[in-house]
Structure 1
Amino acid sequence: MRSFVTTVKILIICTAFLSLLSCNSNNGNGGKPDSLAIRKSIEDASVLKPAEAIKKMHIEDGFEVKLVAEEPLIAAPVAMNFDNKGRLWVVTMMDYMPDTSGTGEDMPTGKVMILSDTNGDGVMDSSKVFLDSLVLPRALCLIDGGILVAEPPKLWYYDIKDDKPVNKTLVDSSYADGGNVEHQPNGLLRAMDNWIYNAKSDVRYRKQGNKWLKEKTHFRGQWGIAQDDEGRLFYNTNSENLLGDYFMPGLGSGNTNQRKVAGYVESIIKDNRTYPVRPTPGVNRGYMEGVLDDSLRLTNFTAACGPVIYNGGLFDEAYHGNAFVAEPSANLIKRNILTDKGYIVDGKQAYQNKEFLASEDERFRPVNLYVGPDGAMYIIDMYRGIIQHKTYLTPYLKNEIKERKLTNPLNCGRIYKIIPKGGDAKNIVFNNDPQQLVELLKNKNGWVRNEAQQMIIDSNYTAASPALHEMLKSTDNFIPVAHALWTLEGLHALQPADVLPLLQNNNWLIRMQALSVLPSVMNKNNYNQFLPLLQQLVNDTLAAPYIGYIMHNMQQYNAAAAKQILMQLTSKYAANKYVADAVISNLENKEESFLKEVVKINADTTTVFARRLRKVIDDIAKARSQSNQKKLAALYPRGAHIFTTLCQTCHGLDGNGVTALAPPLNKSNWVQGNKNQLIPIVLYGLTGPVKVADHLYKSPEINGDMPGIGSNDEYNDEDIAQVLNYIRNSWNNKVSGSAITAKDISDTRKKYEGRQKTFTMEELEGIK
């Protein structure tokens, strides 16, 4: 009976939507496009062969798209790595959303495949299964003769012998614990600093012999992660073009009380506009005003993912260092131009009213982008109709999928590469000669440089150390210097004498790398060699934030000297938020005492530094009362489970929100206030800015939209009541009056029967 009622509701909504569209026809509507005619023109969403799919792609002049792999070699690819033989290791996720209900999503149909090009024509023609029977695998990383594979919730490492997995080792039992498929860690990017980083995660990993190190880092992104020539990380959330770090990734996460560190998780591209070449009504919130334009094309990112910073050396110089971002919902890839202003990274879209690549094929679903060993840019195309996960799937999109028969097939998938038109893309041949590998650290292709660095480290080629030391003296180009530094660091062969001259180099990019690697080489026996120079570098405005971060390490060797430098930074750069947050990153559980000392020197409590330190102190106070969680979980078991698997990925386990994703639930006026305003948020979602505790949260500080779960059949009215009662009593939240009941949820559904549109803050404020 419930399913019949739901179906009737969907039909009513869709009939109303089509009626609305008919009002947009040219008949007496001021010349607006005929929306019904537009819809009719895209009714056919049939599967195209790769050659036909390529013809549907509009690519930037001077470039062409080439097929690399297709079904049946692969199906539903989501991530890949090249090995040094030019083979592709691909993760496939065929069990993702088999239908709009996600039926069978927990079936073990995922694989890790090895693809080879046996005849050298650039197209993969051989495929073998490395691992199978996986449930929703999502990432992989080749390292030290083995492979990391993420299969939620665990992260596994396998040694590789004759292209077969042996010696399975559990690296992390909670790698992807909690959240749904779209909101779990992924990426496994082996970065220049020899650590492995992830999107949708605040953890990094490193292999040391037979042991795995796991450390806290900044929480970054949603799906996909990339680095530039300088080793800085870039990522995004689904509604934001590009986010990234101004500083190297291993710095600045030392104070767990500090929720936001300036210079990390920064909005790099503020413009989120998209320009599809086809109507895209099949997006989750396509029924909402402003999501689609008059031509039914997506106006702004709704599924931004899989970014790459192009440094392959095959494209013209104008494309070097550009950020490319995939948007599977709009069937396109965007190009952004990045520029450095000191240590700040800024950027803009490369074009207005067009994209680098956009397809007319609705099933073209680019989900990850990479630079390859030939310098080409590679595209993983999941090639399927359903891309939105069931957790947030709206009745509107369910109907779109049904009407245009987008559910099947599930066994497609392609990998393409983009090259200059008529260009000749050739892979580098690697061998095990340490000297050749050192020379490859100078290669114009960033993938080649990274691979050479990793091969030297994984093979423990200490014989390469003299050549690497010598490379540090050729400071006319920072790129080989940077790789030489981090390769020596990975070999545990870096010496103070290598770093000291570089700290004084006139080239800021070289100084930056030397400062970044310093915590790895500085110890109790040699810190005095660095201390006088660090004291001088306090006056270097570009180096100042790095000096602040390095004091985290200096404190354990000479606490008095470290504190003196921190006080100097505080005094000299009181108006600089980047230096302020670098200083604060050293002050875990000493924030209040440090503030008192600062005020003695400078009584002005309105400085940027003072304001940011007080914010951390306030956040500490908010986080103190969390002893009630276990009791609440026993009282509301289903609510606690839903919070852990669904809500905490954006709002944080402590309820204090996650930067770039969602505002706090802890001490939120919406959570503690009128239940008639709170229930609609969870059922139907919230869009636009929202004021919480007198602070207006808006993009890019948070994601622009929170989807509702009212149309998700997994959660009944009692479930939703439980999760609301759980958050209304968690942390520092205190709610007077009776608990929310399943009837309250049911009554709210009846009140807004037929509604799909998310609420705005202004609408909610009008509810009594």
Structure 2
Amino acid sequence: MSRLQYLVISTISLAILACGHTQKQHSLSKHEQDSLAMRKQYASSPVLDGKAAIAAMQVDSGLEVQLVAEEPMVVAPVNAVFDERGRMWVVEMTGFMPDTSGTGEEKPDGKIVILEDTTGDGVMDRRTVFLDSLVLPRAVCLVENGVLVATPPQLWFIENNNDKPGKRILVDDQYAAGGNVEHQPNGLLRAMDNWIYNAKSDRRYRKVGNKWLKETTTFRGQWGITQDDKGRLYYNNNSENLLGDYFPPGLGGKNPHQQNAAGYDQRIVRDNHVYPVHPTPGVNRGYMKGVLDDSLRLVEFTAACGPVIYRGGLFPAEYIGNAFVAEPAANLIKRNILNDSSYIVKGKQAYSGKEFLASTDERFRPTGLYNGPDGALYITDMYRGILQHKTYITTYLKNEIKMRELTQPLNCGRIYRIVPKGQRPEKTLMTPEQLFSMLGNANGALRDKAQQLIIDHNMMQLVPELRAALKDSHAPLKQVHSLWALEGLHALTYADITGVLQQGNDPLSVQALAALPAVLNAAVAKPVATTLDSLADKPFFTPYVAYLLPALNKADKAAATKLEAKLIKNYAQDRYVSAALINNATNREAALLKQLVATNPDTALALNKQLNVVLKSIDNAANVKKMDALGKTYPHGYRIFNTVCQTCHGKNGNGIAAMAPPLNESNWVNGNKNTLAAIVLYGLTGPVEVHGKLYKAPEINGDMPGIGGSDEFSDSDIAELLTFLRSAWNNKAGKVTTEDIRNTRKQYNGRQKPFTAGELSK
């Protein structure tokens, strides 16, 4: 569809239909008339009740969608977690985008609510407000006797006194500092390794006694995070189907200078096509060629979020281990099939040309997917007309929202579950007596919860049984969770680890290696070093061995140095081992490169190339003081950078994998100021060359949205942002004035679509 054809459709279609201008309609091509007919059919977006909304859904054969809750029982749900009684703790982000300008978004009307089915009919009938008066809350997690709640910018731990909030403990006052509602940390996934991980974040948390630990980890995703049966993490960003880790989450992320470490933040499913069952013109860049097809349907992900690995055990066997991804902009849920090859995970879409679940209801906005304690797949549905945040909303989308009256209502929300047709899942209660046996349950949600409860209640009386379960090779799932339950109770020993390794079960051995840092100390460093040296000769285990170097280094520096030298000599060409070696080289990257070159000067080696990237990143990081000073000189520009730019381009300006290229030393930032203004106002799409390197999808998000259509920023604000960027890091370019921004707007008056690099280079 040409831009002209689409603009004709989007700007005059309703006038033609309303006024009966048949003569004008006959002058249009058949293609345009077909598009107008589709617009007429979907000119409105009626609000459906829960049952009618289910009738508008198409789901895989043999499965059905059931209503769990709808307004007023739940409103605008964005995140949920189950407790041991099968109740849902739900985050309600009521304040999200009350209109296209986000008016009143800071109003404290968000809530954490507890939903319960007291009758056993599968429908939630009791609503308890645990917390209210929250501003845009985004995540919840249950730990011991309390609740972790993310309310930007803080992360709080709040004691639970019979479903009433008690003492508050501030866990992190900078949990979600900076960014906007679409680009702030979220998730709070309590993972198999007993740490709590987040999307859009490089931090993890853990409660030990009365203290909260906080550590840096690998930066992951945008909205939503999940794990598989091996404890590996999966996530995505809005234009990527599925990203994830090949290795256990706690092994990487030790070197703060290292970005884009091979084996973490990998593209698990590269195919980003989606297949809506109705026209979806109400997407932010729907006017752009290629965003919608000839039937006005979205072509590729634009709001991917809320992934889950199905581990419920209720669906047919072919669904187990599949990855499901929500796409609220196209009103659908994607199914992907994953496969392991050695330690590498790859996936593909389950179908070509269709979806696992797709709705004709434009207000169906799935925000998160969850394994339920009953084995069902649960869906939180925000049920809103407006999905796009004000920071990036385009004039085109504002018009779409106005034409089809999508702003109201704001008091809707749904929770659904998907089950085999005709089944009514039974409510599962978890008593202390059942917890040990549940570690081997077919339902991963129950296994996870049983492990967590054993740790939360400090059930040391189970240690002998847990230790015995490590030897039961007939129950591999129970072995894994018993191992991590022991680790969580601080009862794991080196003898437990060696006993597991001696079984010769590679997947289980990986879990033992991931847990090894918990027991590695000077007393056992020598035998550990011997074991790791032996495993280093087995290609499957080599990356894991390299990732254990930081832990070994703390216990026996000499042994770690010797093992590191062996790995450098034998595996400098391996990208995954090289990434693990750099993970162990914080503040000695230059020395490591010198050591490598002394033995092998080949600059094509993976380790050589990766070290040079890190060393450049370190040089750029030296600009911290300069950035602080610039922030005081250009406070408005610095604020916009923190809330908009850095979420994709990185705080250090060096770009983020799968998101955006560097701003630091960028030829676009330092070049013609009018060109830069055009990019920031209207956006940039397609491949772009920075530092002589061509960046394109899927290496980065294929489109950078402009902010020129946002009511949030004035022309003087944008001018200050560009001046800030052209002075930041190693950039050395001139100022941009408010008049420059106004002139650029005049030059491109009426433009909506982003520029291409080719257009701007002319």
Q: TM-score, normalised by structure 1?
A: 0.95
| Counterpart residue number, 1:665 | 663
CA distance in 1, matches of 2:498, 2:724: 54
Per-residue CA distance 1:350-386 (angstroms, 9 max, x = gap): 0001000000001100010000000000000000100
Per-residue CA distance 1:433-482 (angstroms, 9 max, x = gap): 2xx31111000000000000000000000000000000000124432111
CA distance in 2, matches of 1:591, 1:402: 55
CA distance in 2, matches of 1:678, 1:442: 57
Gaps of 5+ in 2: 1-5
| Counterpart residue number, 1:15 | 11
| Counterpart residue number, 2:81 | 81
| Counterpart residue number, 2:579 | 581
Listed as ranges, the matches of 1:252-401 within 5 Å are: 252-401=252-401
Distance 1:122 1:760, change over 3 A: same
Contact 2:71 2:413 in 1 (8 A): yes
CA distance in 1, matches of 2:527, 2:147: 39
Q: Which stretch of the first structure deviates more once superposed, 59-68 or 673-682?
A: 673-682
| Counterpart residue number, 2:498 | 500
Per-residue CA distance 1:661-717 (angstroms, 9 max, x = gap): 111111111111111221111000111121110111222322121110001112111
| Counterpart residue number, 2:630 | 632
Per-residue CA distance 1:59-81 (angstroms, 9 max, x = gap): 11000000001101111111111
Deviation, 1:423, is: 2.4
| Counterpart residue number, 1:744 | 740
| Counterpart residue number, 2:722 | 724
CA distance in 2, matches of 1:343, 1:506: 16
Contact 1:24 1:34 in 2 (8 A): no
Say which SS state the counterpart of residue 369 (structure 2) adopts: strand
Per-residue CA distance 1:150-202 (angstroms, 9 max, x = gap): 11111111111111010011111111101111111110000000000111111
Say which SS state the counterpart of residue 239 (structure 2) adopts: coil
Letter of the structure 2 residue corresponding to residue 458 of structure 1: D
Per-residue CA distance 1:631-658 (angstroms, 9 max, x = gap): 2122211111111122111112211112
Letter of the structure 2 residue corresponding to residue 128 of structure 1: T
| Counterpart residue number, 2:553 | 555
The answer to whether residue 614 in structure 2 is matched with residue 616 in structure 1 is yes
Per-residue CA distance 1:379-437 (angstroms, 9 max, x = gap): 0000010011111010111011111011000000000000011224223221122xx31
| Counterpart residue number, 2:691 | 693
Deviation, 1:19, is: 10
Distance 1:14 1:55, change over 3 A: closer
Per-residue CA distance 1:4-36 (angstroms, 9 max, x = gap): xxxxxx999953788999999998857687000
Distance 1:550 1:135, change over 3 A: same
Gaps of 5+ in 1: 1-9
Distance 1:26 1:506, change over 3 A: farther
Q: Which stretch of the first structure deviates more once superposed, 296-305 or 471-480?
A: 471-480
| Counterpart residue number, 1:93 | 93
CA distance in 1, matches of 2:118, 2:632: 58
CA distance in 2, matches of 1:169, 1:134: 16
CA distance in 2, matches of 1:52, 1:314: 25
Q: 1:442 aligns with which of 440, 443, 446?
A: 440
| Counterpart residue number, 1:761 | 757
Contact 2:112 2:130 in 1 (8 A): yes
| Counterpart residue number, 2:241 | 241
CA distance in 1, matches of 2:617, 2:436: 48
| Counterpart residue number, 1:7 | none
CA distance in 2, matches of 1:429, 1:716: 55
CA distance in 1, matches of 2:614, 2:280: 43
CA distance in 2, matches of 1:39, 1:28: 15
| Counterpart residue number, 1:656 | 654
CA distance in 2, matches of 1:306, 1:23: 47
Say which SS state the counterpart of residue 499 (structure 1) adopts: helix
| Counterpart residue number, 2:523 | 525
Deviation, 1:504, is: 3.7
Letter of the structure 2 residue corresponding to residue 534 of structure 1: L
Per-residue CA distance 1:39-75 (angstroms, 9 max, x = gap): 0001121111111110100011000000001101111
The count of residues paired between Structure 1 and Structure 2 equals 753
Say which SS state the counterpart of residue 321 (structure 1) adopts: coil
Contact 1:721 1:745 in 2 (8 A): yes
Contact 2:122 2:424 in 1 (8 A): no
| Counterpart residue number, 1:487 | 485
Deviation, 1:575, is: 2.1
CA distance in 2, matches of 1:765, 1:541: 47
Contact 1:626 1:732 in 2 (8 A): no
CA distance in 2, matches of 1:234, 1:225: 6
| Counterpart residue number, 1:706 | 704
CA distance in 2, matches of 1:26, 1:616: 62
Distance 1:31 1:429, change over 3 A: same
CA distance in 1, matches of 2:523, 2:23: 77
Distance 1:24 1:670, change over 3 A: farther
CA RMSD of superposed structures (Å): 2.0
Per-residue CA distance 1:246-273 (angstroms, 9 max, x = gap): 0111112111111121010001110000
Say which SS state the counterpart of residue 219 (structure 1) adopts: strand
CA distance in 2, matches of 1:185, 1:747: 37
Say which SS state the counterpart of residue 484 (structure 1) adopts: helix
Distance 1:66 1:632, change over 3 A: same
Distance 1:138 1:551, change over 3 A: same
Say which SS state the counterpart of residue 443 (structure 1) adopts: coil
Contact 1:500 1:530 in 2 (8 A): no
Q: Which stretch of the first structure deviates more once superposed, 747-756 or 617-626?
A: 617-626
CA distance in 1, matches of 2:24, 2:195: 54
| Counterpart residue number, 2:3 | none
Deviation, 1:628, is: 1.5
Contact 2:374 2:426 in 1 (8 A): yes
CA distance in 1, matches of 2:530, 2:16: 71
| Counterpart residue number, 1:215 | 215
Listed as ranges, the matches of 1:177-192 within 5 Å are: 177-192=177-192
Say which SS state the counterpart of residue 183 (structure 1) adopts: coil
Deviation, 1:540, is: 1.2
Deviation, 1:624, is: 2.4
Letter of the structure 2 residue corresponding to residue 79 of structure 1: N
Deviation, 1:571, is: 2.0
Contact 1:478 1:509 in 2 (8 A): no
Per-residue CA distance 1:489-547 (angstroms, 9 max, x = gap): 00000011110132243322111101111111111222223111111001111111111
Distance 1:578 1:24, change over 3 A: farther
CA distance in 2, matches of 1:510, 1:18: 62
Listed as ranges, the matches of 1:437-476 within 5 Å are: 437-476=435-474
Percent sequence identity over matched residues? Answer: 57
Contact 1:87 1:114 in 2 (8 A): yes
Say which SS state the counterpart of residue 330 (structure 1) adopts: coil
Say which SS state the counterpart of residue 127 (structure 1) adopts: strand
Q: Which stretch of the first structure deviates more once superposed, 497-506 or 534-543?
A: 497-506
Q: Which stretch of the first structure deviates more once superposed, 251-260 or 180-189?
A: 251-260
Say which SS state the counterpart of residue 329 (structure 2) adopts: helix
Deviation, 1:743, is: 0.5
Contact 2:235 2:244 in 1 (8 A): yes
Per-residue CA distance 1:231-287 (angstroms, 9 max, x = gap): 000000000000000011111211111112101000111000000001000000000
Say which SS state the counterpart of residue 159 (structure 2) adopts: strand
Letter of the structure 2 residue corresponding to residue 741 of structure 1: T
